Amino acid sequence: MSRIRKALIWMNLALAVLVIAAGACRIRVNHLASAESMNTKKTSGIKEVALTFDDGPSPECTKDLLEGLKERNVKATFFVIGEKAEAYPDLIKKIQDGGHIIGNHSYTHVNLGILSKEDACEQIRKTNDAIYQITGEYPQFLRSPFGSTQKNLDCQMNMIEVLWDVDPRDWEVQNKEKVV
């Protein structure tokens, strides 16, 4: 069996375990094909997966998800919505305390691609400020809702845009076997 096939089997198994740990939570799980998508340093050539969660934090799911990640010694990136970060600052701190990365996913989960540049920047700035107020750190990564963004947004110049290569569409299909 090839190394790539073994890695894919392991990744699917790990993802299945996390989906089970998340239970009935409707957390969107996206993973990137390469850690280089989020890390500007070159890797050793080993294929890696970056596990990401969008649309939180969620009082129903985030604590259980963090426990499942901790039990498995897995780190992830949480792309959070600004108004939810303000509503649940304790969950943002738990994400940070667990050693996970916190990224910006807009303030209200709006399509940034159809807003004026000023309104899109306001969504990004408000979320950056909310995260900073809770963690003391500004996020480095931005994932625009729906993958829709605009070019040349001044407010995003120092942020790295992170999209996804595999979208399991788990908000549509409530079947873990199909999602995995």
Read off the CATH number of the domain in which 48 is found: 3.20.20.370
pLDDT over 90 (residue 67):
yes
49 — alpha (psi -120 to 50), left (phi > 0) or beta? beta
User: Is the four-CA dihedral 71, 103, 167, 7 of positive or negative sign?
Assistant: negative
Q: Compute φ and ψ for 103, nearest 5 degrees.
A: -120, 170
- A 10 A CB-CB count for 44 gives 5
The total number of structural domains that make up the chain: 1
The CA distance from 138 to 132, in Å, is 5
Candidate from 85-99, 131-145, 161-175 with smallest mean pLDDT: 161-175
pLDDT, tens only, 79-96: 999 999 999 999 999 999
Higher pLDDT, 174 or 163: 163
- Asked if 106 contacts 139 with a C-beta cutoff of 8 angstroms, the reply is no
The whole domain housing 137 covers: 3-179
For the whole model, what pTM was predicted? Answer: 0.73
Cα→Cα distances 3→8, 9, 10, 92, 166, Å:
9, 10, 10, 36, 20
Mean pLDDT of all residues in 57-75: 96
Cα 81 to chain centroid, rounded: 10
In terms of Cβ atoms closer than 10 Å to its own Cβ (0-12, 13-18, 19+), residue 6 is exposed
